[in-house]
Chains A and B, each alone.
Chain A
Amino acid sequence: MGRAEAATLVFLILFSAFSFLPLWRTVEVAGMAVFGWLMAALMLVSPALALIVFLKKRRR
């Protein structure tokens, strides 16, 4: 496993753990709990980051 891939997995797992902190269930931004925004962000960041890392590695 390359370093970039390992770093991506660690980042995504930490991001997920951070999102599940109880604090984010009560704080709201633009009408929605921060927990919801973090889950939405995870759904975009996860595929985008994995794709970028994969394509960069393949180009090299």
Chain B
Amino acid sequence: MIVERVLVLLYLAGCIGIGIYASKRVLGSRDEYWVAGRRIGTTVNSMAIMASLASGGSIIGVMGLAYSQGIPATLALFAGAVLGFPLASVLVARQLRNFGRYTITDFLAFRYPHAIVRYLVPSVIVISFTIYIVAQLKAAGITAYALLGIPYNIALAIATLVFITYVSFGGMIAITWTDVIQGMLMLVVVVGTALVMMWRLGSPAELMQQATSAAPELGQVANQSVASYLGYFVIWATAIPVIPHIVMRVFTAKDAESARLSLNLAMLAYSVMILAAVLAIVPVGKLQFPGLVDADQVFLKVMEAEFSPLIRGIAVAAVLAAVMSTTDALLLACSSAIAHDILGNLLRDRASDRTLAVIQVGSAWVIGMLALFWAFSPPELISRFYTAGVGLLSASLFVPTIAGLWWKKANRVGGVAALVTGAVTYVLVYFGVLNVGVAPVVVALVASTIAMLAGGLLGPKESPEMLQKIETLHAPGR
């Protein structure tokens, strides 16, 4: 494992180097720290968006899931995110980029000026994303233990300290640079492995035919309810337009059209990577290693059987890259919720640039260390909870955001009602207090929509100034 460990160490050192280098530019400027000066080009941004979305689950998890639950169910879970990208590109990208602030909270608090919005939105973000970060850290620890033989707690501490360092000091610029490297690494490793498998063993159709003949369950829909698939699909389809670590990428784009094109290209790269993994690598794994107890090992087993230690080392770095590229973006979004949305709002113009810089760096360390301590002994079902956390975000933010941009009757009463109703309904249905036999996110989105309609139709009309301002956000090419 020496080669693998050296390659991973070089990769981690590179990430810290980027963070330290970027810190010279970003500390002391909110624009540079939170949104990389709003001058990220289309190609770089699309790779960074893809890397932010593609977590450890998109390499190890997707293949393990396809191996154990079958390919159709796995594709259903990941196709929701792919549908979310055109929704984001058409419904929010141009408007939010034209709005020109830093976070989704900025937009919602402007559109629906109320203390509930100003403080509930960042609170929901912090809760959801801390769970999400812990799930990712757990994946990093398990992966490093399985691949490098490093004990779980030590691997966890090293990986966490590395990404807290480059996120806290380098801000969005460091994240963008590292995400581009991490995204390219993931794409090359997964698509490259799939191409090698096809070259050696046959086309995806042939591989699928062989694999499903030997193991028919690979092509069958696992025995779960439609509501379960539909729930995951809807969560990700509605999360992409509002999820903070993707929305922050929209704010970093050099202009509105670049933001939209970046989302479209990122979606294409993400789809190609998932399909390559599921349709080319998993069938090979099922044929060569039919009785794996731990399905998540399938990718590593295929790498072990087919490639040299050097390539395997690069693959290990790619898996860690997948985990870190999502975790760093989550950490920045989470720290922006505290440092910018909550404390920044409380302090307003009273804090000096130096104080703000300390708050920015400090909030990333506080959240990162809390997540680290939680990840030392994480709950067993943490992976399921993080999707639930994303569901809470979708249920709360989707309707107020879309209505705030596209419905002229959307007003403060409707916005606050939709936000609170979506969040409360989701929690009640998720924990079984309300049992209606439908996925929690679907019920919550319907309830949130009804609340928005009631508030908008029955409440006071929105001011002409607000409507004028919203109208200007739809203008192309700003």
Q: Residue of B at shortest CB range from A13?
A: B83
CB-defined contacts of A50 to chain B, threshold 8 Å: 85-86, 89-90, 264, 267
- CA–CA, A40 and B277, complex, Å: 12
Complex Cα distance, B82 from A43, in Å, reads 6
Given contacts A31-B219, A39-B72, A43-B275, contact A51 B268 (CB under 8 A): yes
Q: In the assembled complex, how far is the CB of residue B273 from the closest CB belonging to chain A, in whole angstroms?
A: 10
- A54 CB to nearest chain B CB (Å): 6
Q: How far, in Å, is A44 (CB) from chain B's closest CB?
A: 6
CB neighbors of A among B384-417 (8 A): 406
Residue contact A33 to B72, C-beta cutoff 8 Å: yes
Residues of A within 8 Å of B71, CB to CB, are 32, 36
Q: Which residues of A contact B279 (CB under 8 A)?
A: 40
Q: Tell whether, in the assembled complex, residue B208 and residue A48 are in contact, meaning their CB atoms are under 8 Å apart.
A: no
Q: Does B129 contact A (CB under 8 A)?
A: no
Query: Is the Cβ of B209 less than 8 Å from the Cβ of A30?
Result: yes
> A9-B90, A54-B261 in contact; A20/B78 too (CB < 8 A)?
no
- B219 A9 Cβ-Cβ under 8 A: no
Of all chain A residues, the one with the shortest Cβ separation from B75 is A39
A46 in complex: contacting residue of B75, B82, B219, CB < 8 Å: B82
Q: Given contacts A31-B212, A32-B71, A43-B75, is CB(A8)–CB(B86) below 8 Å? A: yes
- Number of A-B contacts defined by CB within 8 Å: 110
Quick one: which of A1-54 are within 8 Å of B by CB?
1, 5, 8-9, 12-13, 16, 20, 22, 25-26, 28, 30-33, 35-36, 39-40, 42-44, 46-51, 54
Contacts of A56 in B (CB 8 A): none
Distance of A36 Cα from B283 Cα, bound (Å): 14
- In the complex, are the beta carbons of B267 and A32 less than 8 A apart? no
Q: In the complex where A31-B208, A36-B219, A43-B274 touch, is A9 in contact with B82 (Cβ < 8 A)?
A: no
- B271 touches which of A13, A32, A36, A43 (Cβ 8 Å): A43
Inside 8 A of A42's CB, which chain B residues have their CB?
79, 82-83
Given contacts A31-B209, A32-B208, A47-B82, contact A40 B90 (CB under 8 A): no
Contact of B72 with A32 in the complex, beta carbons under 8 Å: yes
In the complex, what residues of A have CB within 8 A of residue B218's CB?
A: 31-32
A6 to chain B, nearest CB (A): 8
Q: Nearest A residue to B211 by beta-carbon distance?
A: A31
- Residue of B with least CB distance to A36: B72
- A9 CA to B91 CA in the complex, in Å? 10
Given contacts A1-B90, A8-B90, contact A31 B268 (CB under 8 A): no
Which residues in window 108-139 of B have CB below 8 A to A? none
Contacts of B78 in A (CB 8 A): 43
Could you tell me the distance between the alpha carbons of A49 and B23 in the complex, rounded to whole angstroms?
40
- Find A48's partner among B221, B230, B268 (CB 8 Å cutoff): B268
B221, B229, B230, B268: residue with the most chain A Cβ atoms closer than 10 Å: B221
Task: Return the chain A residue nearest B84 by Cβ.
Answer: A46
Q: Which residues in B have their C-beta under 8 angstroms from that of A16?
A: 79, 83, 233, 237
Given the known inter-chain contacts A43-B79, A50-B264, A51-B268, please indicate yes or no for A35 contacting B72, CB distance below 8 A.
Answer: yes
B76 within 8 A of A: yes
Question: Which residues in A have their C-beta under 8 angstroms from that of B90?
Answer: 1, 5, 8-9, 50
Bound complex: CA A48 to CA B89 (Å): 13
Taking A20-B233, A47-B82 as known contacts, 19 extra A-B pairs with beta carbons closer than 8 A to each other, sorted by chain A number, are A9-B86, A13-B83, A16-B83, A20-B229, A31-B218, A32-B71, A32-B219, A33-B219, A33-B220, A35-B72, A36-B75, A39-B72, A39-B75, A43-B274, A44-B275, A46-B86, A46-B271, A47-B264, A50-B86
10 A-B Cβ contacts within 8 A?
A1-B91, A8-B90, A25-B226, A30-B208, A30-B209, A31-B218, A33-B219, A36-B221, A39-B76, A54-B260
Seen from chain B, the residues whose Cβ lies within 8 Å of a Cβ on chain A are 70-72, 75-76, 78-79, 82-83, 85-87, 89-91, 205, 208-209, 211-213, 216, 218-221, 226, 229-230, 233, 237, 257, 260-261, 264-265, 267-268, 271, 274-275, 279, 406
